[in-house]
């Protein structure tokens, strides 16, 4: 049985070329980039080259790049660092952010921080006007993601950044799902703090970047050694850093080609879904507002009720197909994802959703296989209902 992986928004396989670039830094060039000897220096040179490369891809200065353990740490560091440095007490964000942002701001309530949530429109998009309306003199930072990881929707980042700057408020964007897929230039978009994760772009897990504009008020969150100019303590993950830089280079080199490929797979998928399930499929985000590699839909039965999303996922998994669904098992109970609930989707429809996220190695025959298997699985579920 073949395995078909349509869950690239969750994680991506490491690119072979990335693996090759990382290999020497495990066993041969294993030095600590902060050591004064030859091996340490070799690691440091490689890290600084990687830093320069990454900075260039996002239009930043190398000194504005801080290596972290991933998207979650970068989101925590951006928000906590801006709050600490400004001494202000409100953080503006949206209910559709990743938990790395939402749980961070909720946890900060304990130290007197007030999260201010800007509601999305019915498509799941955050308007710059609503952000402008929420800003007060107490606003420490605004944090709005570029691309939503469940829906694929794209927020108007430049407009949001503009309203933040008019009010002199730092702007953070979680670009974990957009870097390497959309053009992301911190100056063109006006982003002051930005989060990147290696494993979403065919790079390694456990490595990320926090971009911090040098004029942005920000204080270190993680203390320890003097690494990263005392902005993030901890021995540098040298192979991870080399891998992240190589992964970003490859994604940038092939970005347009990948976009064309994803558009083609998406239209084949959407056409197939509409012809096989004309009544039963509803899209949870409009393709025109989204990145082409993420597709979120719900499936209903003959009575218009949402099918059991957990069962659907399990049955597809038995056929070798990996996708995600829009529910999470919290304390034993299945709850709809906060994103689907946040766009006002009925709980049953949200629980019957599946997210398909394409990667560069997916093929048209895989889409066709998926469509056939989905039809078989849905019929099987109907027969046993
Ligand atoms: N933000 C977004 C939008 C994400 O999709 C993810 C990964 N699911 C993260 C942050 C967290 O990144 P990491 O896994 O590198 O901690």
pLDDT band at 305 (very low <50, low <70, confident <90, very high): confident
Share of the chain above pLDDT 90, in %: 88
Taking CA atoms only, the protein residue closest to ligand 1 atom 14 is: 71
Residue 338's pLDDT is: 93
Distances (CA, A) of 13 to 222, 237, 263, 374: 29, 19, 20, 24
- Name which of 6-15, 85-94, 349-358 the model is least confident about: 349-358
Q: What is the mean pLDDT of the chain?
A: 95
Q: In what order do the strands lie in the sheet with 294-299?
A: 281-283, 294-299, 353-357, 324-325
Atom of ligand 1 nearest to the CA of 97: 3
Span from the CA of 42 to the centroid of ligand 1 (angstroms): 30
Q: Averaged over 75-91, what is the pLDDT?
A: 98
Span from the CA of 55 to the centroid of ligand 1 (angstroms): 20
Q: Is 156 helix (H, G, I), strand (E, B) or coil?
A: coil
Span from the CA of 148 to the centroid of ligand 1 (angstroms): 10
Q: Which of 99, 200, 202 to mutate to test the pocket of ligand 1 (most atoms within 8 A of CB)?
A: 200
Q: What is the DSSP string of 192-220?
A: SEEEEEGGGTTS-SS-EEEEE-TTS----
Number of H helices and E strands in the chain, helices first, is 15, 15
Atom of ligand 1 nearest to the CA of 148: 3
Work out whether the CA dihedral 194, 197, 202, 207 comes out positive or negative.
positive
Q: Which of 67, 71, 248 to mutate to test the pocket of ligand 1 (most atoms within 8 A of CB)?
A: 71
pLDDT band at 180 (very low <50, low <70, confident <90, very high): very high
Q: Which of 197, 202, 338 to mutate to test the pocket of ligand 1 (most atoms within 8 A of CB)?
A: 197
Residue 221's pLDDT is: 87
Taking CA atoms only, the protein residue closest to ligand 1 atom 5 is: 149
Residue 124: which of 100, 98, 146, 151 has the closest Cα?
151
Residue 333's pLDDT is: 64
Using an 8 Å Cβ cutoff, are 105 and 93 in contact? yes
Taking CA atoms only, the protein residue closest to ligand 1 atom 10 is: 71
Cα(309)–Cα(303) distance, rounded to whole angstroms? 16
Taking CA atoms only, the protein residue closest to ligand 1 atom 12 is: 71
What are the tens digits of pLDDT across the range 260-304?
A: 999 999 999 999 999 999 889 999 998 888 999 999 999 998 888
Atom of ligand 1 nearest to the CA of 145: 3
Residue 303's pLDDT is: 83
Span from the CA of 146 to the centroid of ligand 1 (angstroms): 12
CA 80 to chain centre: 19
Q: Averaged over 100-112, what is the pLDDT?
A: 98
Query: What is the set of active-site residues?
Result: 329
Residue 98: which of 356, 346, 298, 342 has the closest Cα?
342
Q: Averaged over 191-209, what is the pLDDT?
A: 98
Cα(83)–Cα(78) distance, rounded to whole angstroms? 9
Cα(302)–Cα(333) distance, rounded to whole angstroms? 25
Residue that has been written with the tokens 């790395």 in this structure: 100
What are the tens digits of pLDDT across the range 318-367?
A: 999 999 987 665 556 677 899 999 999 988 889 899 999 999 999 999 99
What are the tens digits of pLDDT across the range 215-231?
A: 999 999 889 999 999 99
Span from the CA of 38 to the centroid of ligand 1 (angstroms): 35
Taking CA atoms only, the protein residue closest to ligand 1 atom 9 is: 71
Atom of ligand 1 nearest to the CA of 70: 15
pLDDT of 385 strictly over 90: no
Share of the chain above pLDDT 70, in %: 98
Instruction: Looking at the chain, list the stretches that DSSP marks H as alpha helix, in order from N- to C-terminal side.
Output: 16-22, 24-27, 38-58, 71-86, 99-107, 128-134, 157-166, 186-189, 227-230, 238-253, 255-276, 309-318, 338-342, 347-351, 364-384
Cα(177)–Cα(195) distance, rounded to whole angstroms? 10
Q: Averaged over 63-73, what is the pLDDT?
A: 98
Using an 8 Å Cβ cutoff, are 85 and 212 in contact? no
Q: Which of 149, 193, 199, 328 to mutate to test the pocket of ligand 1 (most atoms within 8 A of CB)?
A: 149
Atom of ligand 1 nearest to the CA of 198: 15
For the chain, list the domains and their CATH numbers.
16-253 (3.40.640.10), 254-376 (3.90.1150.10)
Distances (CA, A) of 167 to 208, 212, 266, 300: 29, 19, 40, 46
Phi, psi of 84 (to 5 degrees): -65, -40
Give 284's DSSP letter: S
Residue 2's pLDDT is: 87
Q: Is 245 helix (H, G, I), strand (E, B) or coil?
A: helix
Give the pair of three-digit tokens for residue 82: 């801006």
Which residues have C-beta atoms less than 6 Å from ligand 1?
Answer: 70-72, 75, 98, 100, 145, 149, 174, 176-177, 197, 199, 208
Using an 8 Å Cβ cutoff, are 298 and 352 in contact? yes
Span from the CA of 261 to the centroid of ligand 1 (angstroms): 24
Phi, psi of 113 (to 5 degrees): -85, 140
Residue 129's pLDDT is: 98
Q: Is 73 helix (H, G, I), strand (E, B) or coil?
A: helix
Span from the CA of 102 to the centroid of ligand 1 (angstroms): 12
């Amino acid at each position: 049985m073949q395995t078909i992986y349509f869950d690239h928004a969750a994680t991506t396989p490491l690119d072979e070329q990335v693996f090759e670039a990382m290999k020497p830094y495990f066993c041969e060039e294993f030095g600590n980039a902060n050591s004064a000897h030859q091996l340490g220096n070799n690691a440091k040179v490689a890290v600084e080259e990687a830093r320069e490369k990454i900075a260039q891809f996002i239009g930043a200065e190398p000194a504005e790049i801080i290596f972290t353990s991933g998207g979650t740490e970068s989101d925590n560091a951006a928000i906590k660092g801006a709050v600490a440095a400004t001494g202000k007490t409100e953080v503006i964000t949206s209910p559709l952010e990743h938990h790395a942002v939402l749980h961070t701001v909720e946890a900060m309530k304990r130290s007197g921080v007030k999260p201010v949530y800007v509601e999305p429109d019915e498509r799941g998009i955050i308007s710059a006007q609503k952000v402008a309306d929420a800003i007060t003199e107490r606003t420490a930072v605004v944090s709005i993601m570029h691309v939503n990881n469940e829906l694929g929707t794209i927020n108007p980042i430049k407009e949001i950044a503009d309203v933040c700057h008019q009010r002199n408020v730092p702007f953070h964007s979680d670009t974990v799902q957009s870097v390497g897929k959309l053009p992301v230039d911190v100056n063109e978009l006006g982003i002051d703090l930005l989060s990147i994760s290696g494993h979403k772009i065919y790079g390694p897990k456990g490595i990320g970047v926090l971009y911090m504009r040098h004029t942005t008020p920000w204080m270190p969150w993680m203390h320890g050694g003097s690494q990263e100019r005392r902005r993030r303590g901890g021995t540098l993950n040298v192979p991870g850093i080399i891998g992240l830089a190589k992964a970003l280079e490859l994604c940038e080199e092939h970005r347009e080609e990948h976009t064309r490929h994803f558009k083609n797979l998406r239209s084949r998928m959407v056409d197939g879904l509409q012809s096989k399930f004309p009544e039963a499929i509803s899209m949870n985000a409009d393709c025109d507002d989204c990145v082409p590699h993420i597709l979120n839909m719900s499936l209903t039965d003959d009575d218009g009720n949402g099918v059991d999303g957990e069962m659907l996922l399990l049955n597809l998994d038995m056929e070798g197909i990996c996708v995600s669904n829009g529910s999470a098992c919290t304390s034993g109970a299945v709850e709809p994802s906060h994103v689907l609930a946040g766009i006002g989707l009925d709980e049953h429809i949200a629980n019957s959703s599946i997210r398909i996220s394409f990667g560069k190695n997916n093929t048209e025959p895989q889409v066709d296989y998926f469509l056939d298997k989905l039809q078989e699985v849905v019929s099987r579920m109907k027969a046993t209902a």
